[in-house]
Amino acid sequence: MTELVVIHVDMDAFYASVEQRDRPQYRNKPVVVGGDPKGRGVVSAASYEARKFGIHSAMPCSQAARLCPNIVFLPVNMEKYKKVSRQIHSIFREYTPIIEPVSIDEAFLEISDGNPIETAKNIKKDILLRTGLTSSVGVSYNKFIAKMASDMRKPDGFTVITPEKARDILPRMSIRKVWGVGEKTERDLNNIGIFTVKDLLEYDREFLLSNWGRRAHELIQLCRGIDYSPVQTEQETKSISEETTLESDTDDLGVLRNCLREFSLAIGRRMTKQALKCRTITLKIRYNDFKYITRSVTLPNPIDSSLLIYERSSEILKDRVPLLKPIRLIGLQVSNLVYPGEPVQISFI
């Protein structure tokens, strides 16, 4: 795909911005939408004023209160956010039927007719006029680069990246900004001297492929600005998972729990982004002899808390996973998902 046909729209600090819009007294003030700072609640969204203090989603609200004593805490009002999201998506449909919702506040659009740049500007303008909210918009020739573009000038940004511009920007970009590079992958790449896209493209290809296989091929393609994934108009997440092959086989509960903690935070962030809850938690274990087991628990009430996911998965590990031989791979999955609009009471613990 060489034409500029993909638009990525990402609402700016969506939950917090909706609250600041509806409560003028909190505009231009640090605002957190989330749980009780006196309990074990977590940050669901932070305004840009709050982010200046280092506050981010999935952070314990108690920690956010310590970072910014004057911060305003507001409870989640999911019904209101879903209503605004539907309003935004109705604007999208006025311009194209090819829409891939990524979450309640983010979507890819494919524009096959007219001028995509002008279309993107009009969409951004309509969102502001009809909802009073700002968005950051990226326009490019594939989804990965369009997403990168929308992230470049937040908040209230508008960025167009042509193939020529992508070839100039990509080499200087941190490897962490490439899709799919999380903390562990970034750490592994940093350990062999890869910190930027340029570093990866100049690294020995055979070494990368022999150590990371298909994942290395995908990273190399993305670092070259190549992404063939289509804008999918109908897509429903069935599960969210994280897994890792350990650097060395282990039966150390502390090491395994650290993995679960990292997985729970990553999964929790993705669930928060899509306004999802889960009912089922599954632990996957592969031993050093390559035999593997899965152990699951289905909860009476759905949850969306990283802390609760970690606690439940740790219980599975402790009570239901035999450590009679070393483990080489550990994975965590949440499923039986509850989507926005289903009649479930929001609860932050």
Catalytic status, residue 206:
no
Token pair 């290809």 is found at: 205
Cβ atoms of residues 105 and 10 within 8 Å: yes
Cβ atoms of residues 260 and 337 within 8 Å: no
Strands 72-74 and 31-34: parallel
Exactly one of 19, 106, 110, 242 is catalytic; which is it?
106
Token pair 């020995």 is found at: 204
H helix intervals, 72-142 = 78-93, 116-131
Count the neighbouring beta carbons within 10 Å of the beta carbon of residue 121: 15
Strands (E), 54-184: 72-74, 99-103, 106-110, 135-140, 158-160
Token pair 């074990």 is found at: 40
Residues 6+ away with beta carbon under 8 Å from 36: 61, 73, 348
What is the set of active-site residues? 106
